[in-house]
Structure 1
Amino acid sequence: MPLKLTQRKGSDNWYVRGTVRGQSIFESTGTCDRKIADQIRVQTEGRLLAESVHGKKALITFEEAADAYIAAGGSSRFLIKVSPKGKISGIAAHFRGKFLKDLGQEDLDRAARILFPTASAETKNRQCYTPFIAVWNNAVVNQWADPRQWRRPRKPKGTNVATLKQERAGSKPVSYERAATFVAAMTPATAQIMTALFYTGMRPIELFTLEAEEVNIDARWITLDKSKTGEPRGVPVHDLLVPLLTALVARGGIIFRSHKGEPYPPTEEFGGQIASSISGARRRLAKCGVIIRDISPYTARHTVSTQLVVNGIHPHIKDQILGHAADDMSRHYTHVPQKPLIEAINTLPVPPSWRAFDWWEDPIYWSRRLLTKQQRQPRERLKA
């Protein structure tokens, strides 16, 4: 059937949908303008007809190649970004409608300048050149493009001198007292997330996708059937988390949700799901004269690892807690609560101020609340 325009629920953008000579298609036009969308529909239909005659290698677009790369297990990061209103951006959007056969080094260099105008050579390489080349190489495997050597950006001459630059938040551990001060300035839902991260050492992506059935409160054990490494692992539960997890597990489903009751999107954006809450906590603390800019979700994992070493925990046990262990015996006992790991996690210190958070009394109720106007004002207890 000929291609038609349609709209998805919750999005203003028009989508092209239908079948042309046996090839089905359903993709966004990237616009909410009906007239422009119809022009895109006509162009898409013409392309599909030509493709059926001349072959895909001659007519496949970068956007289609990117979709195929992601479907094959590649990361969509930097390639496709969709805003809450359905607006699409990223490298694939930049090259929308461009055939692979027509793209060259100059097009890639121009994309890097447009998408990342103020970025360093390293950032452009990581966020533009690397994902573009990954899509291209996948297209080569599918015989949609010819192998090609792409030139990557380099530092200007004379810049290979060691320079001091601000470290990214989350790259180093902090003390639990400092962490408690920061978490106290966060909204309840995100404060609960950070608390769980600081007392499990889990990766943010693991915590955001954690479900009630994976948590055994009585056994003080979390079972992750598939971790970032692709292998199952067990995570011991600190005693501090028992009342929090008990309430959240009773609710069922995804454990940690936003104040709207919605799960956080599973992404590897280094905890970007709660970025606004992190920024808000920094601002509120700054009003109190307390500057804390070195804490992010991944800080917790570094802190747990470092504190366990300081506490004298054996490296093998520490690695199992963090999911670094890869021996067959560790995997065999993934679902079996291990006493040494539980004892080790309970050596993590708990500042009194952490136990004094208001939301401990009713985690579910407080998780649905934002900070009140009074709580948003600078508070003396945050200066402690």
Structure 2
Amino acid sequence: MPLKLYKRGKVWWFSGTVHGQAVRESARTEQKEVAEALRIKKEAELVSDAVFGPKATRTFAQAVDSYWKAGGDKRFTGTMYEDGTRDGLLDYFYDTKLKDIQQNDLDEASRKLYPNAQPETRNRQCYTPFVAVWNHAVLNGWADLRKWSRPKKAKGTNVVRIKKRRAGTFPVEYEHAAKFIAAMSPGPAMLMTTLFYTGMRPIELFALEAGEVNLAGRWITLTHTKTGEPRGIPIHKFLVPIFESLLKRNSLADDPRLFRTPRGEPYEVIVTDEEGKGGGGLKSAINGARRRSGIKDIAPYTGRHSVSTGLVVAGVHPYIKDQILGHVADDMSRHYTNVPQPPLIDAINKLPVPDEWRAMPWLADPLAWSGKLAEGTGRRTDLEMKRS
């Protein structure tokens, strides 16, 4: 039965059932000719799916659209503009069928989209978003799981590029981090503390919901991640009082996100520069702590780098470390995403907790302190009490 075109208000829609696949969706246009062309295209896709299967017919553009709708990170995947034009990876692979994309095609896209970029930049801005979209397509049954090679820095060169390291691109000692956290308001300090003892990406922690935290099992289950793959994260014993308190927040019924600004508002993702990526509302808190402490080398991503280095120093096996940080994406790792794993919990508990961190006054009642501000913040002096 062919799809039927009809109008609702000013916009055209099409619906019907083709080879057992029911469809009802908007053409998103007021022009009948355009809507008719979209109807025909959709009908052809459904027929192809029925005859050849989705793995033979799905395009990169369809995978990107589905990835976005599932909450995937839009940064670097490309943009679709209102006038129909597009850019980035989306434009490069647009109508290319997933089955036809090979390693050399991805390498060529990287060279053409970022001709003057260093390997690490091409890895971050081309390979990582592509693999995230691909893995989402795998979960949908549109593509086969595949190992994609990524660019590496050239070896054997005597050309040394000297440049200043940016905060957020390297680890710091936990004693050093404790001094910085002590200069923050309690709300942001709790969030930064959690970053330093989970290795989560800031964007993942901003979106963390109460239902994803299994405190009894010392386990966090993330369903939406940067890579598009679900993953499990062990909870360090030092974080237990923070989660216990924040899980009592009355407003979780209206918005399940755990971490809030001192104003009680959930953190929103704000894409800025490389080190501010996913900084969502932490910029002011970070700048304030830098001003008060004099420490300039800590940013939201510092926690993730510090966890990675801390686990290595503690002698944790590289495979366990990679599982904690979400670098392992094999079928077995995904299978146990929701299952608390004792080796990972034991490993995360090896991260050190300096005495100064344990002495933070807000640890006594994190939820009660979450709306207070650090001394020197405006006219508020909530943290002027002596820390004991």
TM norm structure 1? 0.60
Matched residue SS, 1:172: coil
In structure 1, the residue matched to 2:169 is 171
Q: Does 1:355 align with 2:375?
A: no
In structure 2, the residue matched to 1:275 is: 283
CA distance in 1, matches of 2:260, 2:382: 25
What's 1:182 paired with? 180
Aligned CA distance change for structure 1 residues 68 and 187 (closer, same or farther; 3 Å): farther
**Aligned partner of residue 247 in structure 2, secondary structure:** helix
Q: Tell whether 2:299 aligns with 1:296.
A: yes
2:191 and 2:178 map into 1 onto residues whose CA distance is 13
The 5 Å alignment of 1:1-384 reads 20=10, 22=12, 52=32, 71-73=65-67, 76-77=74-75, 100=85, 132-137=87-92, 154=116, 162-251=160-249, 252=252, 253-266=256-269, 270-273=277-280, 274-286=282-294, 292-373=295-376
Distance 1:177 1:271, change over 3 A: farther
CA distance in 1, matches of 2:11, 2:326: 49
Distance 1:138 1:52, change over 3 A: farther
What displacement does 1:172 show? 0.7
Q: In structure 2, do the counterparts of structure 1 residues 375 and 139 end up closer, same or farther at CA, with 3 Å as the change threshold?
A: same
Structure 2: segments with no counterpart, 5+ residues = 1-7, 15-28, 38-60, 98-110, 118-157
- Structure 1 residue 359: deviation in Å? 1.0
Q: Structure 2 CA distance, aligned partners of 1:301 and 1:197?
A: 6
Give the secondary structure class of the aligned counterpart of 1:250.
Answer: coil
Task: Give the 3 Å change call, closer, same or farther, for CA 231–137 of structure 1 in structure 2.
Answer: closer
Q: Structure 1 regions of 5+ residues with no counterpart? A: 1-17, 25-47, 58-66, 81-90, 101-130, 143-148, 287-291
184-193 or 271-280: bigger deviation? 271-280
The equivalent residue for 2:18 is none
Deviation per CA, 1:39-63, whole angstroms, max 9, x where unpaired?
xxxxxxxxx77x6568999xxxxxx
- Indicate if the aligned counterparts of 2:219 and 2:233 stay in contact, CA closer than 8 A: yes
CA contact (8 A) 2:88 2:113 kept: no
Shift of 1:284: 1.5
Q: Counterpart of 2:356 in structure 1: which amino acid?
A: S
Instruction: Report the count of equivalent residues.
Output: 274
1:294 is displaced (CA, Å) by 1.9
Letter in 1 for 2:225: S
Q: 1:219 to 1:55 in 2, by over 3 A?
A: closer
Seen in structure 2, the aligned counterparts of structure 1 residues 185 and 23 have a Cα distance that, compared at 3 Å, is same
Q: 1:332 to 1:99 in 2, by over 3 A?
A: closer
Give the letter for the 1:346 counterpart: N
Give, as a single letter, the amino acid of the residue that structure 2 aligns with 1:22.
W
1:210 shift after superposition: 1.1
**C-alpha separation between the residues in 2 aligned to 1:21 and 1:327?**
44
TM-score by length of 2: 0.59
Deviations 1:166-185 (A, max 9, x none): 22211111000111111111
Aligned residue identity for 1:308: L
Structure 1 Cα separation of the partners of residues 12 and 245 of structure 2: 52
Q: Secondary structure at the match of 1:272?
A: coil
**How far is the alpha carbon of 1:215 from its aligned partner?**
1.4
**What amino acid is aligned across from residue 193 of structure 1 in structure 2?**
L
Cα RMSD, aligned residues only: 4.0
